[in-house]
Amino acid sequence: MANPERMAVRRRRLMLLMTCVVLLIGVLVYRLVQLQLVEGASYKELADRNRFEVLTRPAPRGRIYDRNMQLLVSNRASFGLYWANLSSDEERKRRIAEQLAPVLQMSADEILKKMNDANLGAIWRPIKNGLTEQQVAYVYEHAAELPDVQIVSTPEREYKAGTLAAHVIGYLNSIDEKHLEDYLKRGYRRDEKVGQQGVEKSYEQDLRGRDGAFRFMVNAANKPTANIQAIPPVPGNDLVLTIDARIQQVTQQALADQVQRLRSQGVRTAAAVMMEVETGKILALASYPEYDPGWFVRGISGAELEQFIQAEKNRVIQDPEVPGSTAKLITAIAALQEGIITPALKIYDPGYIQISNDIIRDWQVHGWVNVVDAIRESCDTFFYRVGLWASKWKPGMSYAELQQWENGARTEWMKRFEQYQKQFGLGELTGIDLPNEVPGFLEDDGRLPVVYYSAIGQMERFTPIELVQYTAAIANGGKRMEPHVVDRVLAPDGRTVVRRIEPKVLNTVQVSPDVLQIVREGMYQVANHPRGTAYGAFAGAPYKVAGKTGTAETGIQGFDNSVFVGYAPYERPEVAVAVIVPGGGHGADSAVIVRKMLDAYFARP
């Protein structure tokens, strides 16, 4: 008969064993559920990665049109050579690299570096894009000798208009190391080219499409066995610019002609812009010298690179220059609005003014002039006096009185004067939809000369885009419009509107309509009165212009900036213009450029 104690022990051991079995089964069931339901998707992805490899099919970027749907930028088919990194046989890689080197016009070491660069892809690594027909034919003809080499058709940017509107369009280039990490986080490829300037950069997210892919099944040796899926790329959205290609071409040619004519005098650069006064739409924006965005498509040469370095800066938005007498308009506006002068006030200009012990000469004797006359004939003496009156400066002040004035009335006036400038967009970012805009500024060292020199535009630096925004605000009754170069974004079908860039009023100036009208009258006489400084440039024009010339001293003897701002038609303003030719001499010379621009505008079909 069994021992009861032994039987009890056996039962306890059996219960313990059964408990362990149940626990183990429970753990296994839990883990199975976790693997299947909770982590199943991630493990499936890992399994797919082991079975499939992906070769990216780059998406075409969106096309770019002018306002009349003239195609400026598109894409063309290009072929790229890819290496399937399936073998660690360095001798084999070297043999293939040496065979391809003379064909691709690359060194074998350069090809090997790309073959072994894991950053370029897990398996499919780009060796060279933009293959010629001869290079493509060679690879196909020698396919048996070049295992693991694949040719893929990719889109390549085509800048059909060459240098036309290059500073508006911009260009593409490789991602630099400084910004690489950020682009990778946003889903970009390491070998992708991105917008570097112009709308190619500022509208990058619209223009960039969504890449497609070839998904290859691979065997245990990680060698492709079949192409099982082709995911088509989705092109980027198209842009329709506000730019009119015909007016843009005339503007660029006018700048180039003027610079070439004055090259012997040291003139090398110029900039011009035309904007609709009621909408802020830019019809023409030209910066000289020019470059061709197509230089970067297949690699820029040494001579092209040298020219590009001189031309990359968009001088319309990035190059503040001394505006000279074009800034007298804001001086007149501030002085009239503050009651410092009246429209009827006249002063006598003998051709100079004495301030303390300094005699400052005007460019001619103007005699008796009021504010309209002073704008028409660009009388420096009148505006010198305005600056002195506004700041409450008095001749013969003692040193203590001068110190008190500098810290009091002078500082107060200069702050108010700068605020008037900013209301009209001078010394402010205009908000244009182009990258890297640089604001102008007023130079103020706190001393007396700034008061009267700023009144004639000699202590300021403004960009052409600021000057055209300021001029448009005078023309349209005081609305500071945000400039823009893109009119609308279209879907890849080229018809569906994704969004429109609507006119935007940044602010309305706090200036009386009567004050603006007095200044407009002076601008009208500049171009239409026989004594106006731009009368000759617009004689015989079938439209009426209002404008202001500027001859700005730069501190270099004989190298004055030639500046002109204006709008037309005078009766019902449509467009405003601004031109700066550094070193170009008299402002009337830039008025000649504006005449060509406006002729092109009013000759529109």
Task: Please report which confidence band the pLDDT of residue 224 belongs to, taking 50, 70 and 90 as the band edges.
Answer: low
Query: Per-residue pLDDT for 177 more than 50?
Result: yes
How large is the average pLDDT for residues 546-574?
Answer: 93
For the ranges 111-120, 177-186, 518-527, the one whose mean pLDDT is highest? 518-527
Outline which parts of the chain fall under CATH 3.40.710.10: 249-602
Percent of the chain with pLDDT strictly greater than 90: 69
Comparing C-alpha atoms, which of 276, 326, 586 is closest to residue 456? 326
Specify whether domain 249-602 bears CATH 3.30.700.30: no
How large is the average pLDDT for residues 325-349?
Answer: 97
pLDDT at 46: 47
Domain 55-241 in CATH: superfamily?
A: Penicillin-binding protein 2a (Domain 2) (3.90.1310.10)
| 3-state class (DSSP) for residue 286 | strand
Query: Which single residue is written with the structure tokens 């369009």?
Result: 169
Long-range contacts of 200-203 (CB under 8 A, 24+ apart): 200/169, 200/170, 200/171, 200/172, 200/293, 201/170, 201/435, 202/170, 202/433, 202/434, 202/435, 203/239, 203/433, 203/486, 203/489
How far is the C-alpha of 88 from the C-alpha of 91, rounded, in Å? 9
How far is the C-alpha of 536 from the C-alpha of 258, rounded, in Å? 17
How far is the C-alpha of 57 from the C-alpha of 573, rounded, in Å? 50
CB 203 within 8 A of CB 488: no
Task: Please report which confidence band the pLDDT of residue 403 belongs to, taking 50, 70 and 90 as the band edges.
Answer: very high
pLDDT digits (tens, 9 = 90+) for 225-269: 555 677 889 999 999 999 999 999 999 999 999 999 999 999 999
User: Among 221-225, 263-267, 486-490, 544-548, which stretch is predicted with the lowest mean pLDDT?
Assistant: 221-225
pLDDT at 137: 92
Q: Which amino acid is at 461?
A: R
Percent of the chain with pLDDT strictly greater than 70: 91
3-state secondary structure 71-87: EEEEEEEEEEEEEECCC
Q: How would you classify the pairing of strands 238-241 and 64-65?
A: parallel
The single-letter DSSP state of residue 119 is G
pLDDT digits (tens, 9 = 90+) for 453-475: 999 999 999 999 999 999 999 99
How far is the C-alpha of 333 from the C-alpha of 526, rounded, in Å? 16
Is 358 or 167 the better-scoring residue by pLDDT? Answer: 167
How far is the C-alpha of 176 from the C-alpha of 564, rounded, in Å? 39
Phi and psi torsions of 272, nearest 5° = -150, 150
How far is the C-alpha of 538 from the C-alpha of 532, rounded, in Å? 10
pLDDT digits (tens, 9 = 90+) for 18-36: 777 777 787 776 666 665 6
Strand order in 546-552's β-sheet? 282-288, 270-276, 575-581, 561-568, 546-552
Query: Per-residue pLDDT for 554 more than 90?
Result: no
Q: How does the average pLDDT of the chain come out, rounded?
A: 90
Outline which parts of the chain fall under CATH 3.90.1310.10: 55-241
How large is the average pLDDT for residues 544-551?
Answer: 97
How large is the average pLDDT for residues 139-144?
Answer: 89
Task: Please report which confidence band the pLDDT of residue 77 belongs to, taking 50, 70 and 90 as the band edges.
Answer: confident
pLDDT at 605: 72
